[in-house]
Chain A
């Protein structure tokens, strides 16, 4: 009477826990996932093509809208990539402020990740607590550049303006309370038996698979590979900072949670060093009003909260716009690991796997 056959269902694109417009086609045998195919492209805007028709100054506003929870990291990649193409030297104070803001943005991004990931798995309280601290950071961004999400924080050659009065004091206040807040999240989650049941041993991916697929960021570090662009190819003021690369050997969802929490502690350390050692001086280098490129190509990558974010610029002779611009988006590459993580496991683990990859669909589709 009852046949035993596989069933195909769609998870998304309007599913609340796919973090945007991600559609995952799942082939199920009962509750076990047989095949998992992520389908992307619902948020495609053609940023790379648009940037070919915009000048090097104008293109930055599109980078805000790629990874909108970590817009400052995207701005940093764009600004430093263009500076590398034209050989512009950025003043030391500007580099320190850039580093500080990027690390604050990493905190904001990881807080949003923790909130939504915990919400997907079923812990509601953490969501409210992390958003409280994230609000503090967004207020700091608003004080610095006038917008909370689409920041457009940096300019080619430095910063538009210096820090506003009172910024350092506010940042210090945040620094003072943040470690206590992290301990609160750990009280709620780290030892919680429901959280551990949902995360320990779930969505495993080995270091070899990570490297073969090009997966970077906390997912790679949770598999035991200490690879961080901030150490490997330091830009901004990262070479002068003292911090560690947290790693874990387990390579499961729980290990990624621990790695990201440890990363938040390191970011906190970097922000403190930036505040303490903030040098005096100008924040803007002298640059021409119109940037005209030569035949040249540049690849510049930074450590975004999600992994390696790379910008590839090709210049043509006398061109005011990039001849070609390509983005190596960390979410897009990390997304490949999803099928490897969930095939052969339960349907409920797909939700945990999407959450632990920390994907932002604005960046995947661009």
Chain B
């Protein structure tokens, strides 16, 4: 019995049959239609086809403006206090014709940010969000220090700015 089991490799044949099943599925449907796996597609042709992200995806921090183009932030410093890695620095200031305090400086050190969304949660004025941008690599270290000025990336660029990401709202 033991010898018979050794001679007839039924265990290996069962494994090969399973891989053969998947191979056949791909082979028969190659270039004709989309391969139907038993779940759904997980491999994506990423740079050519934009990636679909969940609505709650946590990307880069963005400052929001209201309908009049005014910055919504009122410098309550809640985000600065809650941030676990201390990446936000806000400087309070005044602006003509505005009752609430106005952020003269809103600096965001992206290289240390861990995208936990505590800042957005703490904000009582809905003035910041984490957008759906995830292609954040740059060539210079200075480009990770985002402020209210700057022409490349600044704090106001809303999502989606990346060429390759789409929000699934």
Interface on A for B, CB 8 Å cutoff?
54, 57-59, 61-62, 125, 132-133, 135-136, 139, 142-147, 150, 152, 160-161, 164, 177, 180, 184, 187-188, 191-193
Contacts and interface: CB of A to CB of B under 8 A. Distances in A.
Given A132-B42, A142-B53, A144-B56, A191 B14 contact: yes
Contacts of A146: 54, 56-58, 117, 130
A321 to B, nearest CB: 12
A147 B55 contact: no
Given A125-B19, A193-B12, A145 B42 contact: no
Given A187-B14, A191-B14, A54 B84 contact: yes
A188 B54 contact: no
Given A143-B54, A146-B117, A150-B114, A177 B18 contact: no
B38 interface: yes
A58 B18 contact: no
Given A57-B82, A136-B39, A188 B18 contact: yes
B11 interface: yes
B121 interface: yes
B9 interface: yes
Given A187-B14, A193-B9, A58 B118 contact: yes
Given A136-B42, A142-B56, A146-B57, 5 more contacts: A58-B82, A61-B84, A125-B19, A193-B9, A193-B11
A180 B58 CA distance: 33
B15 interface: yes
Interface residues of B, number: 26
Nearest to B10: A191
30 contacts: A54-B84, A58-B84, A58-B118, A59-B84, A61-B84, A62-B84, A125-B15, A133-B39, A136-B42, A142-B54, A143-B55, A146-B56, A146-B57, A146-B58, A146-B130, A147-B58, A147-B115, A150-B114, A150-B115, A152-B117, A152-B118, A161-B56, A164-B54, A164-B56, A177-B38, A184-B18, A188-B19, A191-B11, A192-B12, A193-B12
Contacts of B100: none
A187 B39 contact: no
B9, B82, B115, B116, most chain A CB atoms within 10 A: B116
Contacts of B116: 61, 150, 152
A192 B15 contact: yes
Nearest to A58: B84
B108 to A, nearest CB: 17
B82 to A, nearest CB: 7
B82 A187 contact: no
Contacts of A145: 56
A142 B18 contact: no
A142 B57 contact: yes
A280 to B, nearest CB: 21
Contacts of B115: 147, 150
Contacts of A160: 121
Nearest to A164: B56
A145 B114 CA distance: 14
Contacts of A161: 56
Nearest to B19: A125
A60 to B, nearest CB: 8
Contacts of B82: 57-58
Interface string B49-79: 0000111111000000000000000000000
Contacts of A132: 37, 39, 42
Contacts of A143: 54-56
A59 B118 CA distance: 11
Given A191-B14, A193-B11, A164 B39 contact: no
B51 to A, nearest CB: 11
A81 B121 CA distance: 22
A57 B12 CA distance: 52
Given A177-B39, A192-B12, A187 B54 contact: no
Contacts of A54: 84
A202 B28 CA distance: 41
B137 to A, nearest CB: 18
Nearest to B56: A146
Contacts of A125: 15, 19
Given A188-B15, A191-B14, A57 B118 contact: yes
A142 B57 CA distance: 7
B92 to A, nearest CB: 21
Contact of A187 (B9, B15, B37, B38): B15
Interface string B4-23: 00000101101100110000
B18 A187 contact: yes
